[in-house]
Amino acid sequence: MLNMIRLIPATAAVLATLALGSASLACADEGSQTSQKPTTTRSEEPADASISARLRPVRVASFEQPVEIKAAPGFPRLMFVVDQPGRIMVLRRGRKLARPFLNITPKVQYGGEEGLLSIAFPPDYRKSKRFYVYFNDNAGNIRVVEYRRRTAVRARQNSARLVMRIGHPVNSNHNGGQLNFLGPLLYFGTGDGGESGNAQNLNSLLGKLIRIDPRRNGRRAYSVPRSNPFVGRSGRDEIFSYGLRNPFRWSFDTTSSKRKVRIAIGDVGESQFEEVNYINLSRARGGNFGWPRWEGFTPYEGGGAGTIKPSLALPHPPNCSVIGGVVVRDRSLPALRDRYVFTDLCNSRILSFKPRLGRVTGRPTGLRIPQVTSFGSSLRGTLYVTTLGGPVYRIRQ
């Protein structure tokens, strides 16, 4: 029987425990199920001392339990911080505003891996005023809800419109938790709910990457693009990709390839490996990322052909819960510019690799930041990091 690992509030003792890999927001379960011996993979290169000496995290503000930071189109001076208990907070010109942008704490089931996990703004946000949040409701189910803003720094609390509710099993782990727009379409990653069979089940929305148009369409709360891979076929129309365990943090890369959008997914592993998948979005369409048949490059439940292999696998220990990142576009960070940065919740080292298709090797940046929960970029490319203990950092060189 799997032993689900839960978080408790950050203290010195918890930090020591995290270093041993025994607690995880993104939920790396230490399973009793075994598979073949881990394949030896070279996932890291030595740190570049010249880079290490130049990079430093600068504390911007502190929150209760921040798990994401996002920019909003049309508002370059603002950053929005998702606080897991149920608040969206605002940084204006780098300063924390006292009043939340949105406070839905009474609607949110918070604790362990549950809570308010993500926010996303469509490209027309300045005009439409619509934005979307992803959270666990008081029954533990996943909800994607549309809200509208009143002002640049204040949402309309009573403007909630349910877009989608995804039933979650009795387990409270593996909730996924990231919303991202590409054009008018909303993508989000769901965890398998702690039941691995959901990931390969095309009639379940758990363990998937979902793609919808979240705008109301007549009486329908949302619509499904006709180009989704399972439209007209067996399987839920909303599914874009499947075979994921817990894609807690993932991102689009729209500039590494001039012709193609790419996607980078940090998928939390079971007992041996954490995965980073960096592929063309076109390949992810209808793609199977392999869980639970594969964990990293190793067969887990029988293996098999026809699955997308990861770009990189991080072994246990010292890793336990990969935190997917972003491709850095900050001109003030030449040491990291055009590199993908990521980390692991139980391993404070910030790693990076040059975005390319196929197998990659992570390189330590020399930065160490404990309990990272997400990476984010401003509209100008400034790189931010959120941490479970409360601080939000800006990376400087």
* 70, 107, 340 from 333: Cα distances, Å: 19, 39, 13
Q: Decide if pLDDT at 342 tops 60.
A: yes
The band of 256, judged by pLDDT with boundaries at 50, 70 and 90, is confident
Helices (H), 292-387: none
More confident residue, 33 or 252: 252
* Average pLDDT for the chain: 89
* Model pLDDT for residues 266-279, shown as the tens digit of each residue: 999 998 999 999 99
Name the domain count of the chain: 1
Round the CA-based radius of gyration of the chain to a whole number and report it.
Answer: 19
Q: Output the domain CATH number for residue 56.
A: 2.120.10.30
Q: In this structure, is residue 5 part of a structural domain?
A: no
C-alpha span between 32 and 202 (Å, rounded): 26
Q: If we measure between CA atoms, which residue out of 119, 240, 238, 249 comes closest to residue 176? A: 249
* Model pLDDT for residues 127-156, shown as the tens digit of each residue: 999 999 999 999 999 999 999 999 999 999
Q: Decide if pLDDT at 260 tops 80.
A: yes
Q: Which whole number is the average pLDDT over 312-325? A: 95
C-alpha span between 60 and 341 (Å, rounded): 19
Q: In this structure, is residue 7 part of a structural domain?
A: no
The band of 370, judged by pLDDT with boundaries at 50, 70 and 90, is very high
Bridge partners for 299 per DSSP: 294
Measured distance between the N- and C-terminal CA atoms of the chain, rounded to whole angstroms: 46
Q: Which whole number is the average pLDDT over 26-54? A: 46
* Model pLDDT for residues 179-197, shown as the tens digit of each residue: 999 999 999 999 999 999 9
DSSP 105: G
Buried b (16+ CB within 10 A) or exposed e, 298-307: bebbeeeeeb
Q: In this structure, is residue 3 part of a structural domain?
A: no
Buried b (16+ CB within 10 A) or exposed e, 236-272: bbbbbbbbbbbbbbbbbbeebeeeebbbbbbbbbbbb
CB-CB contact of 126 with 75 (8 Å): yes
- Structural domain span for residue 293: 12-32+40-396
Q: Measure the CA angle with vertex 195, ends 193 and 197; round to 5°.
A: 120
* Model pLDDT for residues 199-208, shown as the tens digit of each residue: 999 999 999 9
